[in-house]
């Protein structure tokens, strides 16, 4: 799976394989992102179809296209995956959108996975946290610890760059994919997460994407009068494409329901919101 000259990476992959085999059969949280896709593909290759199952959380915070793409990719990998409906939107602690919102989302998913594992006799739960994710500060990591969910990529010492490299060598289309956190991450902490807001963000981002932008965010802001405003960010290397498309971009977002549209002149940056 790795070039013969890269002994250090070979050791990490061997450790990952040993860890997965020690917890077979394994139930894996899968989102279609870089880390969870590599974990799913590696587990499928290491454990076979009978030794693992991926589950993807289906909720209003997951774009329909993202769900369809993740399921299609799992099919191409011949990796068994099932959708698992989650109800974090019904939890007031999640809906009020605190700084640790992700904790309630992950806790809901892991609780559903735990019940499924008990029902079908899976030995353990796993998810795609890597060695660079700050496990001591991430709300999702706290939930993982509480539910004893394994983080095989982190435990094997695999970094994001290494996972991208290994994904590329495995031929995974996610190798160079940009980060795509859930739709709730577009809503500022403290602003309630509602189904309507999520639907507007999803439709708005679909429109911006249809104009050819690859890295983007539609930030959902609520004004004092209660109207929804959109702050649009695109990748900094795509900013020069904006001027001729700005009128169409703004018109599409107003059609979605945004009363005002602002283009962020600094473009998309990871530090904008911690959860994104």
Share the mean pLDDT of the chain: 93
pLDDT exceeds cutoff 50 at 103: yes
Please, which pLDDT band fits residue 270 given cuts at 50, 70 and 90? low
The segment(s) of the chain belonging to CATH 3.40.50.620 are 7-169
Q: How many CB atoms lie within 10 A of CB 266?
A: 9
pLDDT exceeds cutoff 50 at 70: yes
CATH number corresponding to 183-272 = 3.30.300
Give dist(CA 14, CA 49) in Å, integer.
19
- The per-residue DSSP string of 126-173 comes to E----TTS-TTT-HHHHHHHHTT-B-HHHHTT--HHHHHHHHHHTT-T
pLDDT exceeds cutoff 80 at 4: no
pLDDT digits (tens, 9 = 90+) for 30-67: 999 999 999 999 999 999 999 999 999 999 999 999 99
CATH number corresponding to 7-169 = 3.40.50.620
Give dist(CA 212, CA 221) in Å, integer.
24
Model-level pTM? 0.91
Q: How many CB atoms lie within 10 A of CB 70?
A: 23
The segment(s) of the chain belonging to CATH 3.30.300 are 183-272
pLDDT digits (tens, 9 = 90+) for 246-267: 999 999 999 999 999 999 999 9
- The per-residue DSSP string of 86-124 comes to --GGG-HHHHT--TTHHHHHHHHHHHHHHHHHHHHT-SE
């Amino acid at each position: 799976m790795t070039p013969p000259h890269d002994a250090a990476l070979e050791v990490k992959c061997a450790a990952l394989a040993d860890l997965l085999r020690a917890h077979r059969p394994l139930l894996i949280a899968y989102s279609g992102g870089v880390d969870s896709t590599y974990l799913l593909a590696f587990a499928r290759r290491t454990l076979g179809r009978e030794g693992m199952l991926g589950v993807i959380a289906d909720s209003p915070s997951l774009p329909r296209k993202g769900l369809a793409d993740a399921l299609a990719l799992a099919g191409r990998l011949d990796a068994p995956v099932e959708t698992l409906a989650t109800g974090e939107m019904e939890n007031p602690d999640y809906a009020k959108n605190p700084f640790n919102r992700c904790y309630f989302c992950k806790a809901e998913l892991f609780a559903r996975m735990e019940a499924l594992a008990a029902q079908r006799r899976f030995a353990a739960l796993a998810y795609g946290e890597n060695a660079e994710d700050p496990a001591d500060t991430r709300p999702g990591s706290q939930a993982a610890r509480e539910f004893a969910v394994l983080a095989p990529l982190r435990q094997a010492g695999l970094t994001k760059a290494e996972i991208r490299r290994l994904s590329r060598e495995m031929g995974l289309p996610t190798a160079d994919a940009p980060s795509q956190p859930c739709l709730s991450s577009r809503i500022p902490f403290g602003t309630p997460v509602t189904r309507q807001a999520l639907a507007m963000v999803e439709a708005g981002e679909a429109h911006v994407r249809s104009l050819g932008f690859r890295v983007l965010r539609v930030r959902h802001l609520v004004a004092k009068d209660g109207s929804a405003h959109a702050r649009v960010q695109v990748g900094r290397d795509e900013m020069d494409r904006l001027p001729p498309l700005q009128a169409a971009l703004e018109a599409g977002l107003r059609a979605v329901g945004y009363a005002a549209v602002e283009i962020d002149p600094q473009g998309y940056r990871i530090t904008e919101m911690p959860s994104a």
